[in-house]
Structure 1
Amino acid sequence: MTEQTFRSGFASFVGRPNAGKSTLTNALVGTKVAITSSRPQTTRTVVRGIVHRDDAQLVLVDTPGLHRPRTLLGERLNDLVKSTWAEVDVVAVCFPANEKIGPGDRFIVNELAKVRRTTKVAVATKTDLATPEQIAEHLLEIQALGAETGTTWAEIVPVSAVAGDQVQLLADLLVAMMPEGPPLYPDGELTDAPEESIAAELIREAALEGVRDELPHSIAVVVEEMALREGRPEDKPLLDIHANLFVERQSQKGIVIGHKGSRLREVGTAARQQIEAMLGTPVYLDLHVKVAKDWQRDPRQLRRLGF
């Protein structure tokens, strides 16, 4: 019997904001590694989720949604996306099946057409929100968009990350496109994002839930300190996390804190539960809200906030 070859490599999900990229990453990895929110522009860092299989290791690079930038932050996020595309083995473009293909999708596929060597796959996401007729029409539109932009789709796959439909099939197809090679990460590791950045992202996700539409881009989170509390018994560890939420204006600070601090307490509780679930350790979370005036447009502040 011939020995089965092991494959390993990188696949990147791209698409306009809110196309279902992070939810798909989480479904493939089987746990939450990318933050998801009903707000567009949730993802700001490139998260690597790692899918371990007996025959392969698939490293999923989840990039921020590509869009026409309005701020310096937007430009930096776009540069990040394009540099990622050139380095991965496969780029999978996500097109939500419940929405028409629009100028945003066309912009992305046109940009992607400039990246020559990378294998390109189209994924019709959120099929649970569309009828079979809509899905069939959507797949034809994706094919037409490929022809129009000179992009050859290696595969066009409809999936629903929420319902779990065809997620396994997508994993099989992506694995088959990976080069032969040894595992790139230790067994059991699910992401290479440092724990501080996971905590910061989960705090930001909690802060985005339920805030009014004017805030999504204006919140940045920096974990100032994260350490196990000294003098605790080994079987009762406590992780102390001190983090600052930055907003751009004084008026936004009030929105995030809420009446008598009620909103910030809710954010803290939700984030703490998510961080504990992710890291497997009880957490003491200390949150403060600060104003960093117009940070999205200021190069110095962007650097300080890690962009």
Structure 2
Amino acid sequence: MKSGFVSVVGRANVGKSTLMEKILGEKISIISNKPQTTRDEIKIIYNDENSQIIFLDTPGIQTPRNKLQEHLLEVSEESLKDSDIVTFIVDNSLSIGRLDKMILKLLEKVNRPKVLLINKCDLLDEGEIDQIKKTYIGLNMFDYIIPISALNDENIDKYIEIIKEMLDEGPLYYPSDMITDKNERFIVSEIIREKALQSLNNEIPHGIFVRIDDFKKRENKNLYDIYATIIVERTTHKEIVIGKNGQKIKTIGMKARPEIETFMDSKINLKLWVKVEKDWRKKQKLVTRFGYK
């Protein structure tokens, strides 16, 4: 049995969560066209007949500007220490940008085998892929460099096979039918947050937290009552989330409901509210209270 932990790091919006979804075949991590959507280390558990790979999907690394972002950077750095293999994902940029250089400095301190994935290779020609590969080969840091397209499922199987080759024999860390370490309440809150991010303008890019207030299955019915509060940082943001005549929050609920029902394999009664916690991302007490410890 091959088994072990693989941290997945990269700057925001390079496709980490999309890669995890393709590997797992299930949607666990939040996926949005807005960067900095993943806020927790989410263990994605891949099982097959002769291996168990636990991927540590981490928040996108960036220069922290508030208490929440400081927490996210700590989560990503800790995952590097906890892993057997490090996967660094970059996109189709032809040069190494400022944040990628910052991540590379972190990786220099980590004595682990490393794999580089060049994502979005479907947007590159062969010459451009070779150019990016040569740039990173020159760093003498990576054991493997693999061009992939997470969106188009290109070279994902090759990546999995290489990880299995690199891992040592080990135990089954989790039951073979388990796909993540996160509970249902967490996944549901992430689905709601994703739909909110997708439905809102850039005026409220990241100051949203979804708190599950109640999560109960009705007796003798395949039906869950789920009550959740969308927390924002300003009164003006609350007005935007609610929308004219309540249309925006209604849209968020309508988009979230079918996806939650598919995930839960059950009908759901979803009720949403909006509350203001002024500048919560800057306040350590609130960041901690919301579970970012």
- Whether TM-score is above 0.5 comes out as yes
Separation in 1, partners of 2:124, 2:96 = 14
SS at match of 1:94: strand
Contact 1:242/1:287 (<8 A) preserved: yes
Separation in 2, partners of 1:100, 1:206 = 33
- Of 23, 40, 43, the residue aligned with 1:45 is 40
Q: Which residue of 1 aligns with 2:120?
A: 126
User: Which is further off, 35-44 or 221-230?
Assistant: 221-230
**Relative to 1, partners in 2 of residues 1:277 and 1:99: Cα closer, same or farther, differing over 3 Å?**
farther
Amino acid in the other structure paired with 2:225: D
Amino acid in the other structure paired with 1:87: D
Q: Deviations over 1:191-249 (max 9, x none)?
A: 1111111111111000000321131211011111111023xx3xx41111111110000
Shift of 1:98: 4.6
Q: Deviations over 1:51-109 (max 9, x none)?
A: 11111011111000111101111111101111111011111000002564201101001
Contact 2:117/2:147 (<8 A) preserved: yes
Q: Which residue of 2 aligns with 1:36?
A: 31
Contact 2:21/2:28 (<8 A) preserved: yes
Consecutive unaligned residues of structure 1, counting only runs of 5 or more, are: 1-5
Separation in 2, partners of 1:169, 1:133 = 21
Shift of 1:143: 2.0
SS at match of 2:211: strand
SS at match of 1:153: coil
Separation in 2, partners of 1:98, 1:261 = 41
Separation in 1, partners of 2:285, 2:240 = 25
Amino acid in the other structure paired with 2:116: A
Runs of 4+ in 1 over 6 A off after TM superposition: none
SS at match of 1:128: helix
Q: Which residue of 1 aligns with 2:217?
A: 228
Matches within 5 A, 1:161-200: 161-200=150-189
Q: Which residue of 1 aligns with 2:79?
A: 84
Shift of 1:188: 2.0
Structural RMSD (CA) = 1.2
Q: Deviations over 1:143-193 (max 9, x none)?
A: 23x34xxxx211101111111110000001111122211221112221111
Contact 1:244/1:288 (<8 A) preserved: yes
SS at match of 2:199: coil
Separation in 2, partners of 1:210, 1:200 = 15
Separation in 1, partners of 2:29, 2:90 = 18
Separation in 1, partners of 2:276, 2:287 = 13
User: Which is further off, 182-191 or 72-81?
Assistant: 182-191
Taking structure 1 as the reference length, the TM-score comes to 0.92
Shift of 1:275: 1.3
Separation in 1, partners of 2:165, 2:273 = 47
The number of residues matched between the two structures is 292
Amino acid in the other structure paired with 1:195: E
Q: Which residue of 1 aligns with 2:104?
A: 109
Amino acid in the other structure paired with 2:22: A
Contact 2:115/2:144 (<8 A) preserved: yes
Contact 2:199/2:252 (<8 A) preserved: no
Q: Which residue of 1 aligns with 2:66?
A: 71
Taking structure 2 as the reference length, the TM-score comes to 0.96
Q: Which residue of 1 aligns with 2:256?
A: 271
Separation in 2, partners of 1:239, 1:210 = 24
Amino acid in the other structure paired with 1:156: I
User: Is 1:250 paired with 2:244?
Assistant: no
